[in-house]
């Protein structure tokens, strides 16, 4: 009998083939239909993907850059804003998780700021920073910081008291307790917040680049739509999904290294 992973892989491939076949058939519009109503099928998208991926890093001007260049700009902005959020959110989350007083004091600010859409900050960022790329990084920081901060605070606050008591018995300093006892115990929850944040960051950067223009995969999608190049639009959507999956899987693998048995 086939193993579960192999059966799942076969089923996934079959679903992929069925979906592609249904998509291809759906694009075969009868001859009497308007040409503009016809979406490109998988065969056309595949041919376009081969053409785009043959030279992904060409740069022929402000409005003519390869998909690799556009993705590179977007990934760079996401990583800048994301890493800045890591530097801020994890230490602050530790303080909130370890101190009930700080938790109560900061909770009203977190509850007010957390629900605000990251894109709502874009006009203010553009006015203050006056640079579209840096404003996009700021928006990524804003959307990344909350899941990490909340998960870090929750992970630290829920560390088993036995671990803390052992550290006190050994007379470890507060800093050493945080680094050698609390951090390893809270690491799975912290990485869950980091994984949520990277997904949100990748979602937001596409919308942000559509607003500010210039470079990036979001601008690329919007520019190709304005040119009515649906092959490029669908291809870029698939690339966005692929890169998002890769970013998520990187942190998912990191989570496996910090799991521990209760």
Backbone φ and ψ for 2, nearest 5 degrees, come out as: -70, 145
What count of residues does the chain have?
A: 262
Percent of the chain with pLDDT over 90: 50
pLDDT, position 253: 87
When pLDDT is cut at 50, 70 and 90, the band that residue 35 belongs to is: low
Second-level CATH architecture of 42-258: Orthogonal Bundle (1.10)
Contacts of 142 (CB under 8 A, 6+ apart): 118, 121
pLDDT, position 262: 46
User: Stretch 29-38: mean pLDDT, rounded?
Assistant: 56
pTM: 0.87
State how far the Cα of 84 lies from the Cα of 133, in Å rounded to an integer: 15
pLDDT, position 25: 86
State how far the Cα of 220 lies from the Cα of 204, in Å rounded to an integer: 15
pLDDT, one tens digit per residue, over 159-203 is 888 877 787 788 777 788 888 888 888 899 999 999 999 999 999
Q: What is the mean pLDDT of the chain?
A: 87
| Position 261 pLDDT exceeds 50 | no
Packing angle between helix 67-98 and helix 217-226, nearest 10 degrees?
Answer: 140
State how far the Cα of 255 lies from the Cα of 179, in Å rounded to an integer: 18
Please state, in angstroms and as integers, the Cα–Cα distance from residue 195 to each residue in 141, 237, 246, following that order: 14, 21, 11
pLDDT, one tens digit per residue, over 48-103 is 999 989 888 888 877 778 899 999 999 999 999 999 999 999 999 999 998 889 99
When pLDDT is cut at 50, 70 and 90, the band that residue 40 belongs to is: confident
């Amino acid at each position: 009998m086939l193993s579960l992973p192999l059966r799942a892989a076969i089923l996934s491939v079959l679903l992929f083939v069925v979906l592609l076949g249904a998509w291809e058939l759906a694009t075969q519009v009868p001859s009497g239909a308007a040409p503009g109503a016809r979406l490109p099928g998988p065969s056309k998208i595949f041919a376009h993907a081969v053409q785009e991926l043959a030279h992904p890093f060409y740069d022929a001007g402000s409005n003519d850059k390869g998909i690799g260049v556009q993705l590179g700009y977007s990934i760079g902005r996401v990583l800048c804003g994301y890493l800045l959020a890591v530097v801020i959110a994890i230490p602050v989350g530790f303080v909130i998780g370890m101190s009930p007083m700080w938790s109560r004091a900061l909770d009203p600010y977190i509850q007010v700021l957390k629900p605000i859409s990251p894109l709502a900050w874009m006009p203010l960022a553009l006015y203050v920073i006056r640079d579209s790329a840096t404003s996009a990084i700021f928006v990524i920081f804003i959307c990344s910081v909350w899941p990490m901060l909340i998960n870090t605070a929750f992970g630290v606050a829920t560390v088993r008291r036995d671990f803390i008591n052992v550290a006190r018995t050994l007379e470890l300093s507060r800093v050493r307790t945080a680094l050698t006892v609390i951090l390893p115990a809270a690491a799975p929850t912290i990485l869950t917040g980091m994984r949520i944040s990277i997904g949100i960051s990748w979602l937001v950067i596409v919308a942000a680049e559509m607003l500010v223009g210039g470079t990036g995969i979001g601008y690329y999608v919007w520019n190709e739509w304005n040119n009515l190049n649906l092959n490029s639009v669908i291809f870029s959507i698939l690339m966005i999904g692929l890169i998002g999956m890769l970013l998520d899987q990187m942190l998912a693998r990191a989570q496996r290294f910090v799991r521990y048995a209760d």
